[in-house]
Structure 1
Amino acid sequence: MPRPSCPRCQRPESHCLCPLIPHLASRTRVLLLQHPSEVGHALNTARLAALGLENAELRVGERFDDLAGSLSDSRYRACLLFPGDDARPVAEVAGDDPRPLLLVVPDGTWRKARKLLYLNPELEALPRVTLPAGLTSRYRLRKAPMAGALSTIEAIAAALDILEAPNRFDELLRPFEVLIQGQIEAMGEETFRKNHGS
């Protein structure tokens, strides 16, 4: 019989993260597009990000037929947080126009995120923005596929720190860090060190 879980954070009730999830305001709107394979993941950081930000929305799927309406909201400038040859630093893009950004963030493995772009041509058409080089992930349970690779929630917090400066979004990462620490404790320190280094 499955353990009862919290309907909001979807963690087991005994490990509910809701008391740690902040309620942060931002001018920047965040639209998270989550590949369905991520929904059941123990570390569903896109969900945590959406719950912690007032101006965020999480949609789950592979094809998003209603994207055009969201992307054409004239109050915002839509851009895609995803690397690419023509991607510009997010700090540079922030000063282009007084309107805040609509930051579209695909959530999934790199392969699944690329599939979301392929299946939704509106995403491919968006200007791309990237984070500064040299950021280090706190995601100690997963080997980064490339230098500077961050989890979804870390990438959003880093982007908002830049776009909304001097406001900081460290609080967004609190439930994420507790979640990771819980996973490490569950596997045991020795197993963690053996598999993931010190």
Structure 2
Amino acid sequence: MSRPQCSRCLRPAAHCLCALIPRLDSRTRVLLLQHPSEVNHALNTARLAALGLNNAQLVVGEVFDDLPTLLNPPGYQARLLFPADDAQPLHAYGPDDQPLLLVVPDGTWRKARKLLHLNPLLAALPRVSLAEGGVSRYRLRKAPGPGALSTVEAIAQALQVLEAPTSFEPLLKPFEALIDGQIAAMGDEVFQKNHGGGHWE
């Protein structure tokens, strides 16, 4: 028999995170393109980000037929948050800057690259990147390298830069509770053995 589930955060009802999810306004619009394999992942941080931001949209799929519409909301310029040699570092908005539509692929690195491959419009977007050296609070997965963050952390960090001095720290509250809950469920000994010092991709 399946456990009752919260229809909003998709967590088991006994571990619902909705009370911790903020409703933050942002000048930046965030478009999350989620690979279908992530939807039922226990740590669905893209959904937490989409729920916590009023100006955000989460779309699940591999090929997005309505991408031309999604990438062109009036008044925004689209940028892809994804590493590349020519990616421009994010910086705070100037007084006359047009706000960004920050497009964030959500999945493992391999799945995210597949989304770009299957959606040439996405791959053609100018890319932006976060500052080097961000430290993930995601203590449950090994990272492929330093500075690798979970989706919600990457979004919070990007908005923190773009919209300084506004704080987007509340976006990480449900994420941290989620991680703490997962660690508590596995027990400290198992966690230390498998994940001590590990980061995420």
Supply the distance in 2 between the matched residues of 1:176 and 1:40 (Cα, whole angstroms).
Answer: 16
Structure 1 residue 74 displacement after superposition: 3.5
Structure 1 residue 70 displacement after superposition: 2.1
Supply the distance in 1 between the matched residues of 2:27 and 2:95 (Cα, whole angstroms).
Answer: 15
The AA in structure 2 aligned to 1:28 is T
1:1-198 alignment, distance < 5 Å: 1-91=1-91, 94-95=93-94, 98-197=97-196
- Output the aligned Cα RMSD: 1.3
Supply the distance in 2 between the matched residues of 1:113 and 1:18 (Cα, whole angstroms).
Answer: 27
Supply the distance in 1 between the matched residues of 2:11 and 2:25 (Cα, whole angstroms).
Answer: 24
Gaps of 5+ in 1: none
Supply the distance in 2 between the matched residues of 1:187 and 1:73 (Cα, whole angstroms).
Answer: 43
The AA in structure 2 aligned to 1:29 is R
Q: Deviations over 1:45-97 (max 9, x none)?
A: 000000000000000000001010121234001000000011010117x4596
Supply the distance in 1 between the matched residues of 2:15 and 2:196 (Cα, whole angstroms).
Answer: 26
2:91 alignment partner, SS class: helix
The AA in structure 2 aligned to 1:23 is R
Q: Deviations over 1:85-128 (max 9, x none)?
A: 11010117x45962100000000000000000000011111000
Supply the distance in 2 between the matched residues of 1:73 and 1:61 (Cα, whole angstroms).
Answer: 19
Supply the distance in 2 between the matched residues of 1:150 and 1:60 (Cα, whole angstroms).
Answer: 20
The AA in structure 2 aligned to 1:128 is R
1:72 alignment partner, SS class: coil
Structure 1 residue 146 displacement after superposition: 1.6
1:91 alignment partner, SS class: coil
The AA in structure 2 aligned to 1:196 is H
Q: Deviations over 1:148-183 (max 9, x none)?
A: 110000000000000111101010000000000000
Structure 1 residue 147 displacement after superposition: 1.5
Aligned identity (percent) is 71
2:33 alignment partner, SS class: strand
The AA in structure 1 aligned to 2:26 is S
Q: How many residue pairs were aligned? A: 197
Gaps of 5+ in 2: none
